[in-house]
Amino acid sequence: MILMKDIYKTYANGVTALNGINIDIKQGEFVYIVGPSGAGKSTFIKLIFREVKPSSGTIVIGDMDLSGIKERKVPFLRRNIGVVYQDFKLLSKLSVYENIAFALEVIEESPKNIRKRVMEVLEQVGLKNKARFLPNELSGGEQQRVSIARAIVNHPKIVIADEPTGNLDPETSWGIMKTFEEINASGTTIIMATHSKEIVNTIKKRVIAIEDGLIVRDEHRGDYGYEI
Ligand code: ADP
Ligand code: ADP
């Protein structure tokens, strides 16, 4: 499902972020990406939805080989991938409903289907009664739920989360993790970069550790493995 072979990434400023990454992630897996700051976790994640292009190596996502992919095909790749960020990245002037509907409007779904699907995902993340609110009228945890709803509204095969609980208190974080587990239980692959030792050591999943642009550990039901 997600295959990387000999991936190197050197940014324009000469910084090498990834130094020969090989990985195979199957459909339906739940994977934590751990490692120190600057190790290459965000770069690894961004390669998957082509926010970043590798300097060399092969990436295959589903049946798409990204090596030769035309720019006009990139939106098709991204339709299969939902992304959740640490800082939510919601549009502040749009309501909760509109933030989520936006993802469907760009693919020209019918208004009737949009309404049905948006209310469905809002129900799934427990925010049906907040549809008309603006993002800044919600708590951090609620805003993250909106961004999760936006990520899954297209039924993506993969959900990528870059430190999704990084701005949330522990109690709220557990609720967010439960939502990710439910999404994973329906067959969606989850790739989550995290610095939370408590989460990784409690909700056991595959752990891929990256240090200095290399995978240094890849364990089924692994530990966080760092002190902080
Ligand atoms: P992590 O997510 O593990 O903190 P990153 O992938 O963000 O690591 O960064 C890996 C290295 O690449 C760091 O040295 C970082 O400064 C550098 N880097 C990340 N993004 C860019 C960029 N757009 N341009 C130049 N250097 C970058
Ligand atoms: P995060 O770790 O929250 O995902 P980023 O990926 O944006 O943050 O940045 C990670 C690291 O890469 C930071 O140290 C940042 O300074 C560096 N970085 C990001 N973009 C650039 C860039 N365009 N040029 C140089 N360094 C960058």
pLDDT at 73 over 90: yes
Return the pLDDT at 225: 96
In the chain, where the domains are located: 1-80+156-228, 89-155
Three-state DSSP string of 169-214: CHHHHHHHHHHHHHHHHCCCEEEEECCCHHHHHHCCCEEEEEECCE
Residues 42-71, mean pLDDT to the nearest whole number: 95
pLDDT at 221 over 80: yes
Confidence of residue 108 (pLDDT cuts 50, 70, 90): confident
- One-letter identity of residue 69: I
What is the separation of C-alpha 8 from the centre of its chain, rounded to a whole number of angstroms?
A: 21
pLDDT at 200 over 80: yes
Residues 3-13, mean pLDDT to the nearest whole number: 98
The answer to whether the CB of 162 is under 6 A from ligand 2 is yes
Q: Distance, CA 9 to ligand 2 centroid (Å)?
A: 14
Q: Distance, CA 215 to ligand 1 centroid (Å)?
A: 16
The answer to whether the CB of 43 is under 6 A from ligand 1 is yes
Closest C-alpha to ligand 2, atom 5 = 42
The answer to whether the CB of 136 is under 6 A from ligand 2 is no
pLDDT at 27 over 90: yes
pLDDT at 172 over 80: yes
Q: Which of 142, 66, 156 is nearest to 103 (CA)?
A: 156
Alpha-carbon separation of residue 35 from 11, 40, 188, 218 (angstroms)? 20, 8, 24, 12
Return the pLDDT at 68: 83
Confidence of residue 198 (pLDDT cuts 50, 70, 90): very high
Whole-angstrom Cα distance, residue 111 to residue 104? 9
What is the CATH class of 1-80+156-228? alpha beta
Residue 156 DSSP class: -
The answer to whether the CB of 14 is under 6 A from ligand 1 is no
**Bridging pattern class, strands 30-34 and 189-193:** parallel
Q: What is the three-class DSSP state of 161?
A: strand
